[in-house]
Structures are given as C-alpha cells and as structure tokens.
C-alpha cells in the first residue's frame, strides 16, 4: 500500500510513497499545499498526538452559568426577561458543536528539521493508516540502507562511519547491524599488518 487518502469535512490529505521521498498534499479551506519530504528527513518516531480547542468549552460553560443565573434571577427580580435563560442556554449548546469538531486524533512522525507530519489515526480506518505507516518506515529504511548503509571502498572511512551512526540513531539499523558494518568498515580501511617489507 503506497497511497493514503484522508478526508475530513473541509480538509483532504493525500500521501504517496515515492522512490526517495514521501509526497504530501493537503487541501484545507480551499488552500492547497504540496510538500515532498525526503526519506533522509523522516526520523521515524511515531507518537500519539491529540488536540482539542478547550477555549470554546470554557466559553460554553460560562454561558451555561449565565443561563442558570438568569433562570434563577427571573424568580427573584421581576423585570428580567422571562425567556432570556433559553437564549443563553441555546448559545452555550451551539458552541459545543465546534468544540467537538475541533477534536483531532493524530499519529505524529518527527522530521529532522524539528517539524512533524500528522496522520489522522482513524481515517479511513485505523488498520489502513497503521499499514501505510508501516510501509513508510520499511520503504524509508530500505532506501536509507541502500544509499547510506553499504560499505564502499571509494568513500572515506569517517563519512561512512558517520552514516552508520546516523542510521543507528534513527533506528534504521540495529546496534548489532551497526557493529557488523563497523567491523566490515574497519577491515576495509585497516592495512594488512602481515604485509611488511618490499616486494
């Protein structure tokens, strides 16, 4: 599975796994933005991220308090509008709609530039999203290992060692894999000690 489409009301997200990058297109409130994210920039940590607009809830609660106060006041003060509490109650209830619509439940994947990319957890469904993210990490790992994890005698020792450390740090290769490749690298760049003298 190399594509993922996520639609939610006024927002549409599309993701595609390319050979060397993740393509991301987002259309929100009529605005469209396309981004190519190289696999080198994807750190791979998948974190749960939830957000909701609590300011709307606070305003709604305040309006409910005013509605209750107005309802009580109509029995104490005679010149209070008899149905004012109904208006306050209706406004408070209407505000709950954008409050519930502001709820977001994402998977967040970190990028190397301190940004993140977000995926709705359950759109179109949880299994589809999780499978796409698994494929993303597999494709990223395969690409990075092929381009940065193979020992090459034409490249210098230091840059190849740094590549291996980087791959280990972002969990592309295991510690065991790193040790194997590091040993292979040292063998390639260590002169044969038995070959002493002139030929």
Q: Which of 7-16, 68-77, 130-139 has the lowest mean pLDDT?
A: 68-77
How many C-alpha atoms does 11 have within 13 Å on its Cβ side?
A: 11
* Spatial CA neighbour of 45 closest among 136, 109, 134: 109
Dihedral sign from CA coordinates of 66, 70, 76, 79: positive
Radius of gyration of the chain from its Cα atoms, rounded to whole angstroms: 29
- How does DSSP classify residue 29? T
* Spatial CA neighbour of 19 closest among 185, 148, 144, 120: 144
pLDDT band at 53 (very low <50, low <70, confident <90, very high): confident
- Would the pLDDT of 199 be above 80? no
- Would the pLDDT of 68 be above 50? yes
Q: What is the pLDDT of residue 195?
A: 45
Q: What is the pLDDT of residue 191?
A: 56
Q: Which of 46-50, 58-62, 70-74, 156-160 has the lowest mean pLDDT?
A: 70-74
Pairing of strands 42-51, 11-17: unpaired
Judge contact between 4 and 108, C-beta under 8 A.
Answer: no
Domains of the chain by residue range = 1-49+110-147, 54-101, 149-191
pLDDT one-digit tens code per residue, 98-116: 888 778 899 999 999 889 9
- Would the pLDDT of 198 be above 50? no
Q: Which of 18-32, 99-113, 139-153, 172-186 has the lowest mean pLDDT?
A: 99-113
C-alpha dist (Å) from residue 145 to 28, 42, 52, 56, 170: 35, 14, 39, 47, 12
Neighbours of 4 (CB within 10 A): 22
């Amino acid at each position: 599975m190399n594509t993922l489409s996520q639609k939610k009301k006024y927002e549409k997200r599309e993701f595609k796994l390319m050979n060397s990058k993740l393509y991301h297109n987002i259309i929100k409130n009529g605005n469209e933005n396309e981004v190519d994210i190289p696999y080198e920039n994807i750190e791979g940590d998948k974190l749960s991220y939830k957000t909701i607009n609590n300011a709307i809830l606070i305003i709604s609660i305040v309006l409910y308090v005013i509605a209750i106060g107005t309802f009580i006041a109509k029995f104490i003060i005679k010149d209070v509008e008899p149905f004012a509490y109904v208006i306050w109650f209706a406004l408070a209830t209407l505000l709950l709609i954008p409050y519930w619509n502001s709820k977001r439940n994402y998977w967040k994947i970190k990028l190397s530039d301190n940004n993140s990319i977000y995926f709705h957890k359950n759109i179109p469904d949880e299994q589809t999203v999780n499978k796409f993210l698994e494929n993303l990490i597999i494709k990223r790992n395969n690409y990075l290992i092929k381009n940065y994890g193979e020992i090459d005698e034409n490249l210098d020792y230091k840059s190849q060692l740094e590549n291996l450390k980087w791959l280990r740090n972002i969990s592309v290769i295991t510690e065991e894999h790193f040790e194997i490749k590091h040993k292979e690298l040292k063998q390639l760049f260590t002169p044969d000690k038995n070959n002493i003298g002139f030929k």
